[in-house]
Amino acid sequence: MLSPGKTLGVLGGGQLGRMFAHSAERLGYRVHIYEPSADSPAAEVSAHAVHAPYTDLAQLEAFVRGCDVVTYEFENIPCEPLWRLEHAGVFHPKWQILEVAQNRLREKTWLRKNEFPHVRFAECEVGGDLDAAIRSIGLPGVVKTADFGYDGKGQLKVTDEASLARAVSSFAGQRAVVEQWVDFKCELSVLVARSSAGETRCFPVAENIHTKHILDFSILPARVAPELLEKARALAEAIAARLELVGLLAVELFLTDRGEILVNEMAPRPHNSGHWSMDACATSQFEQHVRAVTGLPLGDVSMTAPAAVMVNILGDAWKWSGDQCVGEPAWAAILREPRAHLHLYGKKEPRPGRKMGHFTVTGTDLAETFERARRLKAALHA
């Protein structure tokens, strides 16, 4: 166990690192951030930050040697420097899990090999026959880049011959994955923490609503039969055990009309769909991550309110005149609401689609809480 007072290193300096740092420092740890860009929400609130590329082996080694454990807040980190530095420090989770999660093809192949339910897919290597891969899956389908995709970036839905031809030309020269389009009933996510002793805790399952591929609302409890929620939790726990996870893992799922639960994506780090836990759970996902990687006992994951809805605040909520930002959102309605909690990430430059903050609304009745969350979101534009 790493006692409070030790130093926790985080690779990545975005908002997830910032909220991790808040939780770690509350438990008495020092946090060091390694982040290539100078404008870093996490560096701003941490004891120390290094700004250098992930491929700068000398800088990365010095960073790792200065930390008692190193973790991540971002999975798109090149793995080669990590395996080269395996001897220099302790990494939780291990880099092999990042390697699986950061590439859609490796992720899906891992799910298939380990017999976890997943969306039917076909692969297409660089220069391969994408047309044939799409036809083998059938329409509608979705083509995604194999590497470094998130929030719908690098994706194209294929519904007919015209969009198929567009996909073939726009993915030329890239490694791609073709997935069957799932007409899901809803999207769910489960966050699971696992300690080095093999202790596992799952947070309550979130129901997620995406708009333009970006998470818009997380709804707790998910409006799904209890046995399906149990199935989702069991699946996430089994995946965490199979990966030999030490840390936190988010598993994003599709629930189909037939009651099937299919894994869409995995991320070995805190996740946007777990932000509600900061205000409506006995232990937040960030504190649980700290506990899991330091070997502290895992925290209670009971909800502290019967209902919670998390709303993302994107740069779109700022006032725009063409591409000029001319004013900030009207925060007053959220700040006046007693059961709403506003979190802003300190990013200097708003941009449409950029995650700038979130708020969580709690309540006793889910329908009323969701309605209030929607009203407060609309009020940002007042």
> How far is residue 377 from each of residues 306, 312, 347, measured CA to CA in Å?
21, 9, 19
Spatial contact of 39 and 61, defined as CB atoms under 8 Å apart = no
179 sits near ligand AMP (criterion: CB under 6 A)? yes
181 sits near ligand AMP (criterion: CB under 6 A)? yes
Strand partners, 307: 363
Task: Name the burial class of residue 260, with classes exposed (0-12), middle (13-18) and buried (19+) by CB atoms within 10 angstroms of its CB.
Answer: middle
Spatial contact of 72 and 98, defined as CB atoms under 8 Å apart = yes
213 sits near ligand AMP (criterion: CB under 6 A)? yes
100 sits near ligand AMP (criterion: CB under 6 A)? no
187 sits near ligand AMP (criterion: CB under 6 A)? yes
Of the ranges 69-77, 174-182, 289-297, 305-313, which one interacts with ligand AMP (CB under 6 A)?
A: 174-182
* End-to-end Cα separation, the chain, in angstroms: 49
207 sits near ligand AMP (criterion: CB under 6 A)? no
Q: Which is nearer to ligand AMP, 21 or 97 (CB)?
A: 97
Beta strands in the chain (DSSP E): 7-11, 30-34, 48-50, 69-72, 121-124, 141-145, 155-158, 176-180, 184-194, 200-202, 206-211, 214-220, 247-256, 261-267, 307-314, 319-321, 324-327, 340-344, 355-363
Site for ligand AMP in 142-161 (CB under 6 A): 142, 149-152
- Binder of ligand AMP out of 21, 43, 97, 119 (CB under 6 A): 119
Write down the least CB distance from residue 79 to ligand AMP, Å: 20
295 sits near ligand AMP (criterion: CB under 6 A)? no
Write down the least CB distance from residue 81 to ligand AMP, Å: 25
210 sits near ligand AMP (criterion: CB under 6 A)? yes
Write down the least CB distance from residue 154 to ligand AMP, Å: 8
178 sits near ligand AMP (criterion: CB under 6 A)? no
Q: Where along the sequence are the contacts to ligand AMP (CB under 6 A)?
A: 119, 142, 149-152, 179, 181-182, 187, 210, 213, 264-265
